[in-house]
Amino acid sequence: MSFDQYSMIIGGQRTFIWSGEMHAYRLPSPTLWRDVLQKMKASGLNAVSFYFDWGYHSPAPGVYDFTGVRDMDRLLTIADQVGLYVIARPGPYINAETDGGGFPAWLSTIAGKARTDAPDYLAATDQWQSAIDAIIARHQVTNGTGSVILYQIENELAATGTSQRNYLQHLYDKAHADGISVPVFHNDKGRNGIWVPSSSQVAGTVPGPVDLYAFDGYPGGTCHTDGSPGAPSAAPDWGIQGAGGAKGGATASPNTPGFVAEFGGGWFDYWGSVGTYPCTAQRQGSGYERVFYGTNIANRLTVQNFYMTFGGTSWGWLPAPVVYSSYDYGAAIDEARQLRPKAAALKSLGYFVQSVTPLTKVDKGPDVVPSSAAVKIEHTVNPDTGTNFYFAVHNPSSATTDDSFTFPITTADGSYTVPLELTGQDAKTLVADYDLEGQHLVYSTSEIETHLPGVALLHGRDGESGETLFRYASKPAVQVLSGSATSSYDPATGDLKLSYVHHGLIRVRVNGLTLLIADEDTAGSFWRVDSEAGPVLVRGPELVRTAHAAGPLLALTGDTTAPADLEVWGPRQALLVTWNGSLVPARPTTSRSLTALRQLPGPAPVRLPDLSGATWKYAPESPESQPGFADTTWRTADLTATNSTTKPPAGQVVLTADDYGFHHGDVWYRGHFDGAAPPSVTFDFGGGGAGLIQAWLDGTYLGQYVLPTNLASPPTRGTASFPVPAGLPDGDHVLSVMVRNDSHNEDGGVNDAQKEGRGLIGVTGLSTPVTWKIQGGDSSADPVRGPLNNGGLYGERAGWYLPGFDDRGWTTHPVPDTDAPAGTSWYRTTFDLRVPKGVDASLGLTIGTVPAESESSTQPRGHYRVLIFVNGWNMGQYIADVGPQHTFVLPTGVLDPHGPNTLALAVTSDGGPVNALERVQLANLATARGGVGT
């Protein structure tokens, strides 16, 4: 493995890295890792970037778990099998909208400052690196034993003091000591020129212990708070077309490849938003991808990673305070594992950068001036092949006008004036002077999607005209096979010119090459897959996953969502095609393809049980609220010192939950005191995003308080005051308090923000001494589902969330229910799924009614929330009066599609009829015939 200023060189081949981010920890179903990775590969990516979340693997100091859903060795094996390179990003700090930014919760209790060279902190990161590096090292390209090509240390470490430099050096040295031999990089938050390799020498940069420089950026424009798309922004030039220098992006490191470690593929959403993911998918949709990713290509960013390509689910207590359970992200692959329309543009660009290899070595070309000031051309040239690339985009690139213009092309073939159109948010990369499968391409105003021996696929927008010129010494044979195109040959120049309007699929046979010219929708129906006998181009199905060639047999796998055509351009010897194991009768075509005689079948319908007709078992909970509850086995809160950044008020004991080993979800306190009941009591508490506190005195409910939401950066700590009803007698009192901890802060600011206290911090209003008892969740209690599955609800500690729990003694209640006690109560039901074999049904659970678009999102909703346990897995939190999420994706693996399933809902309510559990339904989010099998 090596690299230069142009690109990564892997196994001697210059390689354009077109990578997508996905987080295995956001998909607790290893079988489906293959599904998502195959969809990424099919969508034109040749690499995947993984964050590894330290906290996901480590319930306690020195304890690391890489089994089951945490089996990262299996993940890396699958990525290699699928044919994706891996960018490994183990942190130790990752940010990523995960609890504590990826730090294990126990780390919040150490004295040393995180992300520095504090010895206790480094001792902790050593543990993690030893564990995760051992796995990553086994899968490196450099060892010939896997597909890991790059390794990131830290993430967005924006502080640059000596302590950080020492820390980074420590991580770098440790990685090497652990056998990491692929290039090491860091991800600079924005373009600050921070942590560049010593080869850089650019004024204003900060050198660091790295082999490559990488940065990130999310420049695409946003959605308004009402969920409508904002105006597009202009695409920045973060490479050779830009201003240059330390803050110019890739120009901060002139001797290493242009590397954007994260480029916006969407954005996350917050508690109380209207639900922006569908809008984000549009705002950062196809037009955005063409303009922004295209600009990156023109800037010679030959390592690009799109964050996220599949966002997935922040299940359990994974979501950081800034995000709710869904991490859909508006990404190319939605949370329910379906390709969004924008995946097609990602695919076109991805196939292009991998097919047209001269792109991996380009310099800035001479300026090109188009006929209209409303557009601009960014020009690059490969110095070895002479291939020219013209990136045409609006000027400014945020403009969305419809423009027709010409621009000059001058190559070794001569000079031409080329007509082009740009309609709306769009951009095109045109290629000139290029060997297209043995034909000399002078230029084309269609974009090249891909080519393989005997066939080339070009594309353009429906209704826009195009022209493609080849050069031949003598007049070639040209045959228009379908659609409409004209050709003319100029013997003086040798130029053969094809003229056409993009619409449907035009097929032209030119000198033995099948030229397929598609409009965008049609281009989206093509898939390029690799087989043992070479690349294969397939048209028709919803998805093509794999191709295996053996003699005359070509075995394809993939998905259909409806009956679908199948046409295949494969290796010459391929005469027989199978689809998901069944022989497909097919005939050869004049396009030199094989086409199926009958359509491939679509999926059989999936019928789901109606949960409103189910029997729901019911039990009230929160016994801790009652005065007679025995808390003798609970830990006494007696600590007087804490490493939390939130200290107790003078004279009070430490109450913050992490200090007592209770890290996630709910934590209970019982404060015993003697004397008169106070008129009111006030709690300073930490609850993360949309955190909750509920309090009782002597069993009398005092009320609940929810931290403010509807904010992208919500407060994570607050004060709640509750008046105490008059008339309570003097004597022994017990104050029962439950705090829901919606996770630890991230530490993006390098200020130990993850150490902000959770649970109670201080209590005012009590005049007599209080003895506090504390009880919460044990991070090691459920080794199957891991440290982030459970908090400290009574029902969780008693196993009520588990499928095997015996609820026969419970009563029954209707769902939707008509009333709710204050505190928590549980609803359990079972249902059988009978998803037909061979069908991949992506299912979800919907609580309440999804607001109609006309309905105000601020309408009053019940003051209650639900933890959703599916077969014991905590798949998310519904907060009725905060939102916006109603539908929770339940991956196969967590769900058994062919058998019984158990649903347990922990409903925490403010009490009363309006705060009772709403309707609960199963939802079919997508059905495909195919899938990866379960």
- For binding to ligand GAL (CB under 6 A), which residues are involved? 94-97, 155-156, 187, 189, 216, 262, 268
Whole-angstrom distance, CA of residue 779 vs CA of residue 317? 11
* 38 or 314: CB nearest ligand GAL: 314
Query: Half-sphere exposure of 192 toward its Cβ, with a 13 Å CA cutoff?
Result: 15
Least CB distance from residue 148 to ligand GAL, whole Å? 19
Least CB distance from residue 298 to ligand GAL, whole Å? 23
The residue with its CB nearest to ligand GAL is: 95
Q: What is the DSSP annotation of 43-95?
A: TT-SEEEEE--HHHH-SBTTB---SGGG-HHHHHHHHHHHT-EEEEE--S---
* 155 or 241: CB nearest ligand GAL: 155
Least CB distance from residue 156 to ligand GAL, whole Å? 5
| Biggest alpha carbon–alpha carbon distance for the chain | 109
Least CB distance from residue 675 to ligand GAL, whole Å? 49
CB atoms within 10 A of CB 501: 16
Direct distance between the N- and C-terminal alpha carbons of the chain, in angstroms, rounded to an integer: 36
* 216 or 918: CB nearest ligand GAL: 216
Least CB distance from residue 51 to ligand GAL, whole Å? 7
Residue 34: enclosing H or E segment and its boundaries? helix 30-42
CA 62-64-65 angle, to 5 degrees, is 160
What is the number of residues in the chain? Answer: 934
**Where are the alpha helices (H) located in 220-267, listed in sequence order?**
none
* 187 or 382: CB nearest ligand GAL: 187
252 φ/ψ angles, rounded to the nearest 5 degrees: -70, -15
Least CB distance from residue 750 to ligand GAL, whole Å? 13
Least CB distance from residue 103 to ligand GAL, whole Å? 13
* 323 or 761: CB nearest ligand GAL: 323
Side-by-side strand order, sheet with 2-3: 2-3, 8-10, 13-15
CB atoms within 10 A of CB 686: 28
Residue 176: enclosing H or E segment and its boundaries? helix 162-177
* 189 or 471: CB nearest ligand GAL: 189
* 155 or 348: CB nearest ligand GAL: 155
909 strand-pairing partners:
823, 864
Could you check whether the bond before residue 738 is cis, i.e. omega within 30 degrees of 0? no
Least CB distance from residue 712 to ligand GAL, whole Å? 11
Whole-angstrom distance, CA of residue 16 vs CA of residue 918? 50
617 strand-pairing partners:
812, 828
Least CB distance from residue 878 to ligand GAL, whole Å? 23
CA 26-875-27 angle, to 5 degrees, is 20
Lookup: tokens for 434: 């290029």
Least CB distance from residue 789 to ligand GAL, whole Å? 23
Residue 586: enclosing H or E segment and its boundaries? strand 586-588
CA 819-820-824 angle, to 5 degrees, is 165
* 114 or 478: CB nearest ligand GAL: 114
* 171 or 359: CB nearest ligand GAL: 171
* 155 or 915: CB nearest ligand GAL: 155
Whole-angstrom distance, CA of residue 280 vs CA of residue 342? 11
Lookup: tokens for 469: 């010129």
Least CB distance from residue 657 to ligand GAL, whole Å? 25
Lookup: tokens for 321: 């305070």
* 216 or 464: CB nearest ligand GAL: 216
Least CB distance from residue 80 to ligand GAL, whole Å? 24
Least CB distance from residue 311 to ligand GAL, whole Å? 9
* 96 or 867: CB nearest ligand GAL: 96
* 190 or 609: CB nearest ligand GAL: 190
CA 358-360-362 angle, to 5 degrees, is 75
Lookup: tokens for 659: 């200090």
Whole-angstrom distance, CA of residue 20 vs CA of residue 310? 8
Could you check whether the bond before residue 383 is cis, i.e. omega within 30 degrees of 0? no
* 154 or 567: CB nearest ligand GAL: 154
CB 16 within 8 A of CB 9: no
Helix axes 119-137, 72-82, angle to 10 degrees: 40
* 94 or 889: CB nearest ligand GAL: 94
Lookup: tokens for 571: 């290796």
Least CB distance from residue 412 to ligand GAL, whole Å? 43
What residue has token string 């902000």?
756
Least CB distance from residue 164 to ligand GAL, whole Å? 16
* 327 or 701: CB nearest ligand GAL: 327
185 strand-pairing partners:
152, 212
Least CB distance from residue 216 to ligand GAL, whole Å? 5
Helix (H, G, I), strand (E, B) or coil at 388: strand
- What is the separation of C-alpha 279 from the centre of its chain, rounded to a whole number of angstroms? 16
CB 518 within 8 A of CB 505: yes
* 23 or 813: CB nearest ligand GAL: 23
* 102 or 460: CB nearest ligand GAL: 102
860 φ/ψ angles, rounded to the nearest 5 degrees: -65, 140
Whole-angstrom distance, CA of residue 927 vs CA of residue 195? 46
| Among candidate residues 579, 570, 565, the one with its CA nearest the CA of residue 551 | 570
Least CB distance from residue 844 to ligand GAL, whole Å? 23
Whole-angstrom distance, CA of residue 558 vs CA of residue 547? 9
Least CB distance from residue 95 to ligand GAL, whole Å? 3
Lookup: tokens for 690: 């949309």
Residue 495: enclosing H or E segment and its boundaries? strand 495-501
